[in-house]
């Protein structure tokens, strides 16, 4: 197997793994402020009071998913990103189907009370509560993921077409900021405005808070993109690296 194929498998495996994990850990809501040991912000937006950075744990991994999107886009073009995005969406759907089957299987009677010493009176209820995400959340997450990925691809190459091979930070961070913006609003709008009848202002206010976090993280992680790019160029060799980048660009001509 050549280096080009090995690299695609490594990047694709990391991309899909992070996408699946992000979906499942996203059921937990954490306080960013408390995690770092300071008082929650009390922000008022669109008539919604006392907002703070209470985020799903999925946001911890999604920035890395979008970084992988840009790296794959750089070397394999839109065909590579599209293929991995659709595979990831299919694997996420498959994972949710398996979890649904597991939740609805009949639990062993002794297992239900097996967590009583850890103050878990009913393991089946706890299992369902953690893994049994609502249908609208699943739909919103999948739709947002696919739209965000496809938008990221085109914004990335639009910026690259205008700036050439210079300014890696501009095309990567710029495309990530646009795709994360769409991802943040689509998933919450479908999951909570359509699926749970939350008010429009409440959904939009939470979307803005989520996007502020993602915006900051995308900027902070920019040096990581350069590091990964450098390591890949060293692994492939300058000639092969430039050839792959050129072939990726030709997919947009």
User: Per-residue b/e over 177-208, b at no fewer than 16 CB within 10 Å?
Assistant: bbbbbbbbbbbbbbbbbebeebeeebbbbbbb
Q: Which pLDDT value is given to residue 154?
A: 82
Q: What are the tens digits of pLDDT across the range 88-113?
A: 999 999 988 998 899 999 999 899 98
Q: What are the tens digits of pLDDT across the range 194-209?
A: 877 788 888 888 888 8
Q: Which pLDDT value is given to residue 146?
A: 87
- Cα distances from 142 to residues 6, 23, 36, 60, 239, in angstroms, run 27, 9, 30, 17, 37
Q: What are the tens digits of pLDDT across the range 215-227?
A: 888 888 888 888 9
Q: Which pLDDT value is given to residue 110?
A: 92
Q: Which pLDDT value is given to residue 141?
A: 83
Identify which has the larger pLDDT, 29 or 105.
105
The domain limits of the chain are 3-250
How sure is the predictor about 253, in pLDDT bands with cuts at 50, 70 and 90? low
Which residue reads 């509560």 in tokens? 129
| pTM of structure | 0.84
Q: What are the tens digits of pLDDT across the range 61-89?
A: 888 888 888 899 889 988 898 899 999 99
Q: DSSP character for 58? A: G
Q: Which pLDDT value is given to residue 24?
A: 84
């Amino acid at each position: 197997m050549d280096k080009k194929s090995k690299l695609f498998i490594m990047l694709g495996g990391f991309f899909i793994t992070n996408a699946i994990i992000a979906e499942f850990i996203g059921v937990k809501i954490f306080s960013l402020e408390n995690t770092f040991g300071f008082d929650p912000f009390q922000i008022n937006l669109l008539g919604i009071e006392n907002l703070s950075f209470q985020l799903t744990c999925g946001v911890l991994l999604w920035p890395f998913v979008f970084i992988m999107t840009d790296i794959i886009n750089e070397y394999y073009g839109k065909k590579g990103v599209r293929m991995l995005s659709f595979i990831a969406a299919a694997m996420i759907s498959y994972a949710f189907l398996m979890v649904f089957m597991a939740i609805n299987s009949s639990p062993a009677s002794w297992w239900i009370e097996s967590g009583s010493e850890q103050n878990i009176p009913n393991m089946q209820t706890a299992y369902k509560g953690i893994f049994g995400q609502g249908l609208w959340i699943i739909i919103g997450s999948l739709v947002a993921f696919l739209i965000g990925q496809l938008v990221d691809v085109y914004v990335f190459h639009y910026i690259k077409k205008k700036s050439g091979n210079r300014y890696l930070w501009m095309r990567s961070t710029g495309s990530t900021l646009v795709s994360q913006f769409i991802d943040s609003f689509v998933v919450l709008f479908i999951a909570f405005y359509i699926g749970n009848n939350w008010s429009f202002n409440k959904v939009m206010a939470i979307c803005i808070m989520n996007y502020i976090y993602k915006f900051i993280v995308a900027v902070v992680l920019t040096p990581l993109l350069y590091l990964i790019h450098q390591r890949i160029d060293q692994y492939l060799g300058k000639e092969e690296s430039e050839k792959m980048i050129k072939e990726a660009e030709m997919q947009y001509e």
